[in-house]
Each structure stands twice: as C-alpha cells, then as structure tokens.
Amino acid sequence: MATFESRGESSFARTWSKEPGLDDGHTALLELLDRSGASLFALLTRLTLRQDVAEDLMQELFLKLRSAPDQASIDCWQGYARRVAINLAFDWRRRNRRRRAVPLDEVAEPVSGAGEPLNQAARTEESERILAAVGRLKGISREVFVMHHVQQDSYEDIARQLGKTPHQVRALCFRAMKDVRERLGCDRGSSEEKGVRRVEYE
C-alpha cells in the first residue's frame, strides 16, 4: 500500500506508480493524480476536518479509481475522482458521527491568552454542524455545493466541468443553500448562516 512522504506535499502519481498491477493502461489515472492529487487531498481534509483521515481516504480513493469499471468510458477523470472523493468523505462522516462529537465543556481552559482552544472548538463544532447538513444533500446538489462553497469554484467553472450553464449551476447552488439553511434551522442574518455562506475552515 502506498504511503505519503509528507501530507499533501508528495507526488501522488510518483507514489502510486509503483503499486503492483498498475501499468500503462492506467496512464489517465496517473496523470490525474499528478495533476490533481494535492487538491483532492485538500478537499478530503476540508470535508473531514482531519488530515489523518484524509490520508486514509486518499488511499481508498486511489483503490476505487484503479478498480473503476469500464474506465475507457470515463470522459473526465477529474470530475469522476472529485465525485468519488466527496462520497467517501461524507460516508466517513456518517460512519463516525458519534465518535467525532466533543462537548465544549470537555475542552481544557487555557493557562493564558484569549481562550483560543475554546474558540477553536467552537469553530470546529460549527463546521461539523454545517458539514452534517451538507452531507444530507443528494447527488449533484451536494457536489455543486461543495464545488462552489468549499472549493470556491466560480459558477462558470462549475458549469464547464459539469456540462451545464452558469444559470443552471446558480439555481442548483441556491436550492442547495436553502436546503442546508433549513436543516440548520438558521434565521436570516444569523452567525450560522454566515458560516454556511463562507464555509471557511481553519
């Protein structure tokens, strides 16, 4: 099994090109890993909030891409890999929902300073709630939401990647955001809604 030289810094294609059974028939996959491996790792880290988990999921992503059926029919490996990565991240979140939760009152008080550990825990808890709501979106709605609000892709870029018009993408994003807000029970102008709109992670 391949391992990383350092988190997010190794050449993914070079690392996995030595895997048993990987030959010239996987050229497109190796090119994808060389071109987009780091961005896929960053995406998995943002969706799980854990670099160690992102590393494990990158291994699983590689195996799924390598064993994908009818690879010759995959027109866009980057889009296919992104979709698989998103599904892997939210599948992991569902499996580990209970174990991830850490009550704020279990966070130790800082010896000095402005309470940064507590503030970080609060930000993480808010991100967890937002991601849990995003995870309940289905299909293209979730993919578009992640592409626009997590990866910060423009409507035009998303439209080009998904074969849709910018207007269609904007409408999908609007409906997805509305659904997420409703799941969170946010009122307009609340701090949580602003957090959803930015989807910023520390």
Longest pairwise C-alpha distance within the chain: 59
CB-side neighbour CA atoms (13 Å) of 16: 22
Give the per-residue pLDDT at 97: 77
pTM of the model: 0.71
Q: Strand, coil or helix: what is 12?
A: helix
User: Which residues does the chain have with pLDDT short of 70?
Assistant: 1-26, 28, 98-122, 186-202
Give the per-residue pLDDT at 126: 86
Residues 6+ apart with CB under 8 A from 192: 126, 129, 130, 184, 186
Four-residue CA torsion sign, 180, 184, 186, 192: negative
Four-residue CA torsion sign, 181, 183, 186, 187: positive
CA-based R_g, the chain, Å: 18
- The two tokens of residue 137 are 């979106």
Q: Which amino acid is at 123?
A: R
Give which of 33, 105, 28 is closest to 72, Cα–Cα.
28
CB-side neighbour CA atoms (13 Å) of 104: 12
Q: Which residue has the tokens 């494990």?
A: 56
Residues 6+ apart with CB under 8 A from 17: 30
pLDDT in tens, 46-80: 999 999 999 999 999 988 888 888 777 777 888 88
Q: Which residue has the tokens 């309940």?
A: 136
Cβ atoms of 146 and 134 closer than 8 Å: yes
Q: Strand, coil or helix: what is 6?
A: coil
Task: Give residue 200's Cα distance to chain centre.
Answer: 12
- Distance (Å, whole) CA 128 – CA 123: 9
Give the per-residue pLDDT at 111: 45
Give the per-residue pLDDT at 152: 92
